[in-house]
Chain A
């Protein structure tokens, strides 16, 4: 099982460039999430999609947009990248229809550097 797949694994951008991070899950989960991980700050939620067709802001949504393309795919877009967005980005999914006690499953991350 692939689980949660993120592409690309690494990317370097220049300030002002745009980019879309891709995420796909093959577990038929209905909820998907985007986090960023920065040293000493743990994981912070950027956006989430409780179910197909819905998206909501998380803790740090500024500078990002998302699209829940279908049940499997949830993309994160940086319209005009800034150095403060240098981070490791993680996508996750969970099966929330059976209750909020289901663990989230994570991809291996996209390491993004913005110069």
Chain B
């Protein structure tokens, strides 16, 4: 069965420092991987996706993610965190054949302190 794990419930980082939010996946075959962000009382917003090709994917708001097939990981990164990046982040995976549903991780809350 497909699964996505986000091992950290919360990540704390100071403004200006680099941030990493971790994600590992278990999906048969080659996966499509996504990161979404959720602000309070809002729906999820798409940040970036990995389909194929370059292992470093760039997305919205200066975020990027690194795909590592051998470690089955897709960690979200940003070189310099902003207080406004504080939100709930979800990793999701989908198989790349047929109509497959998204499987979400449990989410990681990012708190960026001034």
Q: Are B94 and A100 in contact (CB under 8 A)?
A: yes
Q: Are B43 and A4 in contact (CB under 8 A)?
A: yes
1/0 contact trace for B94-114 toward A, CB 8 Å? Answer: 111111111011110000000
Q: Which of B51, B95, B100, B104 contacts A43 (CB 8 A)?
A: B104
A61 interface residue (CB < 8 Å to B): no
Q: Lowest 8 A-B CB distances belong to which pairs?
A: A106-B43, A103-B46, A42-B106, A42-B104, A43-B104, A106-B44, A108-B43, A101-B51
Q: List 18 A-B contacts (CB under 8 A).
A: A31-B99, A42-B104, A42-B105, A42-B107, A43-B90, A44-B104, A45-B101, A45-B102, A50-B99, A58-B101, A90-B44, A100-B94, A100-B96, A100-B97, A100-B99, A101-B96, A103-B49, A106-B44
Closest to A58 in B: B101
A77 interface residue (CB < 8 Å to B): no
Q: How large is the interface on B (under 10, 10 to 19, 20 to 34, 35 or more residues)?
A: 20 to 34
Q: Are B43 and A109 in contact (CB under 8 A)?
A: yes
Number of interface residues of A (CB under 8 A): 24
Contacts of B99 in A (CB 8 A): 31, 50, 96, 100
Whole-angstrom distance between the alpha carbons of A92 and B43 in the complex?
A: 9
1/0 contact trace for A79-115 toward B, CB 8 Å? Answer: 0000000000010100010001101111111000000
Q: Are A105 and B104 in contact (CB under 8 A)?
A: no
A53 interface residue (CB < 8 Å to B): no
Q: Which of A45, A50, A107 contacts B43 (CB 8 A)?
A: A107
Within 8 A of A (CB), among B22-54: 32, 34, 36, 41-46, 49, 51
